[in-house]
Amino acid sequence: MIPRLAELNPVQTLYLDFLDTLKHQGFEGDLNPDYANRVVLATDNSIYQVLPQGVLYPKNTEDLVRIARLADQPRFHNVVLSARGGGTGTNGQSLTDGLIVDCSKYMNRILEINPDERWVRVQGGVVKDQLNKALKPYGLFFAPELSTSNRATIGGMINTDASGQGSVLYGKTRDHVLALKSVLLGGECWDSKAISDEELAVHQQREGLIGEIHRVVNQIFTDCKAQIDSCFPKLNRCLTGYDLAHIRDESGRFNLNSLLCGAEGSLAFIAEAKLNVLPIPKYAALVNVKYDSFESSLRDAKALMDWQPTSIETIDSKVLNLAMGDIVWDSVRDYFPQEEGEPTIRGINLIEYTSDDEQDLKAKVEALCQHLTQIKGQAGKSFGYSVVYGAAEINKVWAMRKKAVGLLGNAQGDKRPVAFVEDTAVPPENLADFIMEFRKVLDDRGLAYGMFGHVDAGVLHVRPALDMKDPEQEKMVREITDQVVVLTQKYKGLLWGEHGKGVRSEYAPEFFGELYPQLQRIKALFDPRNQMNPGKIATPSTVEGAQLLKIDQVPMRGQHDRQIPVDVRQTYDSAMHCNGNGACFNYDPQDAMCPSWKGTRQRIHSPKGRSSLIREWLKLMSQRGTDLNQEAKQVREAGFLTRLPKRLINTVRRDRGEYDFSNEVHEAMMGCLACKSCVGQCPIKVNVPDFRARFLEVYYGRYMRPVKDYLVGSLEFMIPALSRFPQPYNWAMQNPFIRAVMKRFAGMVDSPVICRHSLRQGLIERSVEFASVESIGRLTAAQRQRSVIIVQDAFTSYFETQLVLDLVDLLGRLGFNVMVAPFMPNGKPLHVHGFMKAFNKAAEKNAQMLKDLESSGIPLIGIDPSMTLTYRSEYKDIGDDLPKVQLIQEWLVDALKAFPVKGETTQHTFKLMAHCTEKTNAAPSIRQWQEVFAALGQKLEVLATGCCGMSGTFGHETQNYALSKEIYALSWSEIVNSPAHRGQLLATGYSCRSQVKRLDNQQLLHPVQALLGVVQTL
Ligand SMILES: Cc1cc2nc3c(=O)[nH]c(=O)nc-3n(C[C@H](O)[C@H](O)[C@H](O)COP(=O)(O)OP(=O)(O)OC[C@H]3O[C@@H](n4cnc5c(N)ncnc54)[C@H](O)[C@@H]3O)c2cc1C
Ligand code: SF4
Ligand code: SF4
C-alpha cells in the first residue's frame, strides 16, 4: 500500500503570514500555498525547477497594489515576488523560491480598442493570439510575433521584450508599447509613456519614488552616454531590459518604458499596457526555397535580403524532418514537393512578402523567383522553390514551423533538447560563420540538435539534446554556455538575443562592464531590498552581497527526476518528458487542448500540471522507498477484501481532513476528461489518461473507490443483460426519485436510456449476420471482397441503436456486404478509471475475438471514434499484436475508390463537429470524412471546436456536471445554437451528440446518417 505523503517542504511562516495578511486586507484573487500549486508553478520551459512558497492569482490592479504595498512593510522585507504570465520562459525567468504572482488567470481582459487611433489597452495577462483575434474584425493586429503566441501573455512579452519572425520589419514588443501602467514596490501605480523634456522636468520635481526614478535615470543617461553607446550592440535584437540606449526615443522624448520592457519583472508589476497596433497587410506571399545543405541556406539568406522581403526564416533538415513526421505536414506537404532527381532537402529559407498593393507584392515575388530560377543549381544556391499566396495558406506554413519548434522537444530516449543557449543573436552577416563554429561546439561533444532561426535578424535557435538526469551531462550546460558566450563576443553578438536573461543574468556584469553599476542603481531605485524577481538582470546596489543567479547553481529538474528509479520512470514515461513549453495552455476555446484547464483556468488541471504533480509524487514515493511498479502488481494480485479494512480507515481519515499529497494529485487527475487531446496535440505527446490510469490504480489500493467508478467500469458488462428488459431500466433512469438517489449516492446524473428497439432485432429485419468463422466461411470470394465487419461498442449499440442500423443501411446501399461483430466489452471505461487488471482481461478477450475475425481478411470498422481508437492506443498495454480496427471514414475513403458509387446526388453542405480524440489522435481521418462526402457529391466543412464537455461518462458524473456544462458553453453552445448552422451540423462522437441533446435539446446526426439521407436519393 502506498504510504501517506505528509512531510513535505512546508511553506515558511513568513509567507503564511503574508498570505494571511493579504487575505485580511481584502485581496480578491486566489491565494494558493497548497503543495500542488507550488509544484506546478515550479517549472517553466527551462531546465530549472524552483519550488515557490505559494502562488497568488490577482483579480485586478488593486490586488497587485495590495501585494506590492504589503511587501514594502518592514516585517515582510524578506518576501520575494515573481510575476508570471504564460510561464513559457526558457531560462527560469518567472521561477522563484518566494511567491509567484500569476496574472494570466484573471487579469486577461482587453479593456479598450481604438481602431481610429490604432491602439488597444489590455491587462497584463492577455494572450497575444487572444488579442489578435479581437483585433481582426478591425483589420488590425499586434505585430511582435513569437512561437508561443497562443499562450504567452502581453505582460510576459513586455517583460522579455519578445520578438520573432518579422522583427526586422516590425521590431520588438517594446517598439509597440505606447504606455504602461505599472505597480511599484510600495503599491504606487505609475503610468509611463514617452514624455517631453517639460514633462520630465515636472516629474523630476516630484517628491518620493517617482521623482527619484526620473531624476536618477535621466542623470545616468546623460552622464554615461558614451559608455551606453559603446556597450549596447547595434543589433535588431539589441539588449532587452534596462535598455538605457533607448531611454530617449528617435524624437528625443524620455521614455521609462525602455527600462521596464524586458525587465523580467525585476522592477515592477505590469498591470496594463497601451499598445500600438497595425493594419493587417492586405496581401501576402511566401516563397519556400530549398537547399541541399543548411549552411547554403544560411549563407544564401544574407544575399536574399537584397530582395527586400518582410522576413526570412531558415530551418534545418532536423526540424523539417520532424515536421514531415507529424500530422502538421498534411497541411503543407504540397508546398515542399520533392521532385524526381532533386537532392534531399537539408535546409529551407521561408521568405515572406507583405503589402497592401497586390501588384507591388507580385512584382517583388516575381523578381525574386526570376533570380532563383537563374541561380538554380549553382554551388551553395537553392535547387528549387514554391510560392504560396494568401494569409490563410501562409499561416499553415508558419503553423508548421511553430509546431516543429515544439516537436524538437519530442526526441525519443532520455536525451532531450533543452534550452540554455537557444537564442543567440549576432549581426546577420556573421551568422553563417558563427553557426559553423557553434555547431562544432556541439558536434565535438557528439550532441544531437536541430537548428532554425530568424536569419534576417541574426538569431539562431538551437536546443542541444542532453539527459539532464545524468550529472555528467548536466555539467555540459556550464561548459557549452561559457564557450558560446565567447563565440557571441567574437561575432559581436549576444547570448540572450530573444528570450531574455533569466538565470543567464550571471553574464550581465561581464557584458555591461563599467555600465553594470548603473544597472544596479536602477534596480535599487525600484527595488531597494531585492524583492522583485531577485537574481535576474541586476542586483540592487543597496543590498550588499546580493548575488545574480548562476546557471549551474539553481536547482534543476534533472536533479529531481533522477531520484525516481529508472523502471518507474519508464512506466510513467510520458509524464517524465513534459518540458513545460506550455502548449497545453492554448487560450483558444475553439481548440481541443485542454478542456479541463480551459474550464477551470487552474494550472493543476492541465497536462503540464498533471505531469508535474505525477513527477513530484513519483519522487516523493521513491524517497520513501516505495516501488510503484511493485505496488501496482500487488494491487492487481490482492483480492477486494484483503485491503478493505485498511482502505476504509484511510478513507475515513482522509475525509476527516488528514493530509496526504496523493489526494492533491488525485484531485488534479479527477478533473481530467480523458479526452486525449494532450496525447495528440502536446508536442511531447504527454499522455495524461495513461499515467492517470496508473496513478488511480495504486491510489485506490490505499483509499476506497467511489461507487460511480464501479457503475461506469461495469457498464459494458451489464448492458447486454439490462438491454433485454429496457423498460424497467429506462423507467428507473427517468424516475425523479431514483435520479436524485443516483445523483446523491451513486454520483451519476442524466444517465442515458437504453434503446427499446434492439440491434439484434434490427439486424434480423435486414438479414444481416453476426460475423463468425462460420458466417464468414459461407461468403463467396466476390462477397468477401466487398465485405466489412462493424465492431460494436456499448454506447452506440445500446444507447443509439438506430445509428448502427443506419450505418448498416448506408453501407448496404453503397453495395457492401455488412456483418456485425458480436458485442464484447471494449474496456475503455475500465482504463479511464484505472481498473487496469480488469481492463487487461477485457482487452485480451476482445482483441482475441477481433483477431480471429480479422484473419478472414475482411476489414473491421468501429463507429464511435473514442472507443475505436482505444484499439490502437490503450490496447498497446496488452501487446503489439493487435487487431486493426479502422474508423468508418478511414476504411470508406479507400473502399469508395475501389467501388465507386454510380449515380448523381443533390449537393448539400454539412458541417462537422469532430470528436476531440479523433481530430487530435487521428487527424487525417477528418480530411477523410471530407473526401468521403466529396465522393458522394457532398460538401463537408470542418468547424473548429473545442471539447463538448461530455467525454465518455465524465459529464455524467455528479461532481463533474458543472464543469461539463462550463466546457460546453466555451465552444459548442454558440455553434449549436447559431442559425447559420441550423440543420447542417454533424457530430462523430456519441458523447458529443448526447451532450448536445441534454444541454440544448437538439439531436445532431452522425455523418453516416447524413450520407444515408443522401444515398437514399440514388
Ligand atoms: C517553444 C518556445 C518557443 C518560444 N519562441 C519565442 C519566440 O519566438 N520569441 C520570443 O520572444 N520568445 C519565445 N519564447 C520565450 C517565451 O515564450 C517568451 O519570453 C514570452 O514572452 C514569455 O511570455 P509568458 O507570458 O509566458 O511570460 P512568463 O514566462 O510567465 O514570464 C516571463 C518574464 O516576464 C515576467 N512577467 C510576466 N508577466 C509579468 C507582469 N504582468 N508584470 C511584470 N513581469 C511579468 C516574469 O516575471 C518573467 O520574468 C519561446 C518559448 C518556448 C517555450
Ligand atoms: S504537457 Fe505537453 S504541451 Fe503541456 S507543457 Fe508539458 S510538454 Fe508542453
Ligand atoms: S486528456 Fe484532455 S482533459 Fe485530460 S489532460 Fe489531456 S487534454 Fe486535458
Q: Which tens digit of pLDDT belongs to each residue from 110-158?
A: 999 999 999 999 999 999 999 999 999 999 999 999 989 999 999 999 9
Q: What is the reported pLDDT for 853?
A: 96
Pocket of ligand 2 (CB under 6 A): 578-584, 607-608, 611, 678, 682, 684, 686
Q: Is the CB of 607 under 6 A from ligand 3?
A: yes
Burial class (CB in 10 A: 0-12, 13-18, 19+), 9: exposed
pLDDT band at 622, cuts 50/70/90?
Answer: very high
Where do the H-state alpha helices sit in 491-556? 508-512, 516-526
- Cell representation of residue 760: 439484434
Q: Is the CB of 832 under 6 A from ligand 3?
A: no
Ligand nearest to the CA of residue 597, numbered in listed order? 3
- 653-675 b/e (C-beta count within 10 Å ≥ 16 → b): ebeeeeebbbbbbbebbbbbbbb
Ligand 3, atom 8, residue with closest C-alpha: 594
- Asked if pLDDT for residue 78 goes beyond 90, the answer is yes
Q: Which atom of ligand 2 is nearest to the CA of 608?
A: 1
Q: Which atom of ligand 2 is nearest to the CA of 579?
A: 7
Question: DSSP 3-state assignment of 887?
Answer: strand
- Asked if pLDDT for residue 10 goes beyond 70, the answer is yes
- Asked if pLDDT for residue 236 goes beyond 70, the answer is no
Question: DSSP 3-state assignment of 589?
Answer: coil
Q: Is the CB of 167 under 6 A from ligand 1?
A: no
Q: Is the CB of 126 under 6 A from ligand 1?
A: no
Average pLDDT over every residue of 587-591: 96
- Asked if pLDDT for residue 330 goes beyond 80, the answer is no
Spatial CA neighbour of 462 closest among 331, 298, 234, 262: 298
- Asked if pLDDT for residue 341 goes beyond 90, the answer is no
Q: Which atom of ligand 2 is nearest to the CA of 581?
A: 8
Q: Which atom of ligand 3 is nearest to the CA of 596?
A: 3
Q: What is the reported pLDDT for 237?
A: 61
Q: What percent of the chain has pLDDT over 70?
A: 99
Q: What is the reported pLDDT for 321?
A: 86
- Asked if pLDDT for residue 164 goes beyond 80, the answer is yes
Tell me which of 82, 160, 463, 681 to substitute to probe ligand 1's pocket, judged by most ligand atoms within 8 Å of the beta carbon: 160
Average pLDDT over every residue of 824-844: 97
Spatial CA neighbour of 353 closest among 342, 340, 366: 366
Where do the H-state alpha helices sit in 516-606? 516-526, 557-561, 566-571, 573-576, 595-600
Which residue has better confidence, 65 or 314?
A: 65
Average pLDDT taken over every residue of the chain = 94
- Asked if pLDDT for residue 677 goes beyond 90, the answer is yes
Ligand nearest to the CA of residue 686, numbered in listed order? 2
Taking only the tens place, the pLDDT of each residue in 538-580 is: 999 999 999 999 999 999 999 999 999 999 999 999 899 999 9
- Asked if pLDDT for residue 250 goes beyond 80, the answer is yes
CA of 84 to the centre of ligand 1 (A): 8
Q: Is the CB of 262 under 6 A from ligand 1?
A: no
Tell me which of 682, 687, 690, 692 to substitute to probe ligand 2's pocket, judged by most ligand atoms within 8 Å of the beta carbon: 682
Which amino acid is present at 947? C
Q: What is the reported pLDDT for 607?
A: 98
Spatial CA neighbour of 599 closest among 948, 914, 920: 948
Ligand nearest to the CA of residue 689, numbered in listed order? 3
Q: What percent of the chain has pLDDT over 90?
A: 83
- Asked if pLDDT for residue 453 goes beyond 90, the answer is no
CA of 596 to the centre of ligand 3 (A): 6
Burial class (CB in 10 A: 0-12, 13-18, 19+), 306: exposed
Cα pseudo-dihedral 196, 197, 203, 205, rounded to 10: -160
Lowest mean pLDDT among 110-124, 222-236, 439-453, 673-687: 222-236
Q: Which atom of ligand 2 is nearest to the CA of 580?
A: 5
- Asked if pLDDT for residue 280 goes beyond 80, the answer is yes
Q: What is the reported pLDDT for 69?
A: 98
Q: Is the CB of 675 under 6 A from ligand 3?
A: yes
CA 427 to each of CA 164, 188, 217, 298, 496: distance values in angstroms, whole numbers, following the listed order: 15, 40, 29, 13, 13
Phi, psi of 741 (to 5 degrees): -65, -45
Ligand nearest to the CA of residue 129, numbered in listed order? 1
Tell me which of 574, 594, 685 to substitute to probe ligand 3's pocket, judged by most ligand atoms within 8 Å of the beta carbon: 594
Ligand nearest to the CA of residue 677, numbered in listed order? 3
Average pLDDT over every residue of 171-186: 96
Taking only the tens place, the pLDDT of each residue in 628-637 is: 999 999 999 9
CA of 498 to the centre of ligand 3 (A): 31
Average pLDDT over every residue of 839-843: 97
Q: With contact defined as beta carbons under 8 Å apart, do 986 and 992 qualify?
A: no
Ligand 3, atom 2, residue with closest C-alpha: 675
Burial class (CB in 10 A: 0-12, 13-18, 19+), 512: buried
Ligand nearest to the CA of residue 606, numbered in listed order? 3
Taking only the tens place, the pLDDT of each residue in 11-57 is: 999 999 999 999 999 999 999 999 999 999 999 999 999 999 999 99
State the pTM of this model. 0.95
Tell me which of 596, 669, 963, 971 to substitute to probe ligand 3's pocket, judged by most ligand atoms within 8 Å of the beta carbon: 596
CA of 531 to the centre of ligand 3 (A): 36
CA of 94 to the centre of ligand 1 (A): 8
Q: Is the CB of 108 under 6 A from ligand 1?
A: no
Q: What is the reported pLDDT for 238?
A: 64
Ligand nearest to the CA of residue 595, numbered in listed order? 3
Q: What is the reported pLDDT for 229?
A: 86
Spatial CA neighbour of 312 closest among 130, 170, 104, 167: 167
Q: With contact defined as beta carbons under 8 Å apart, do 261 and 144 qualify?
A: no
Q: What is the reported pLDDT for 232?
A: 79
pLDDT band at 454, cuts 50/70/90?
Answer: confident
Q: Is the CB of 599 under 6 A from ligand 1?
A: no
User: Distance between CA atoms of 261 and 278, rounded to whole angstroms?
Assistant: 20
Q: Is the CB of 58 under 6 A from ligand 1?
A: no
CA of 610 to the centre of ligand 3 (A): 9
Which residue has better confidence, 660 or 729?
A: 660
CA of 238 to the centre of ligand 1 (A): 17
CA 298 to each of CA 279, 287, 443: distance values in angstroms, whole numbers, following the listed order: 31, 15, 18
Q: What is the reported pLDDT for 318?
A: 84
pLDDT band at 799, cuts 50/70/90?
Answer: very high
Q: What is the reported pLDDT for 546?
A: 97
- Asked if pLDDT for residue 1017 goes beyond 80, the answer is no
Q: What is the reported pLDDT for 624?
A: 96
Average pLDDT over every residue of 980-1002: 97
pLDDT band at 988, cuts 50/70/90?
Answer: very high
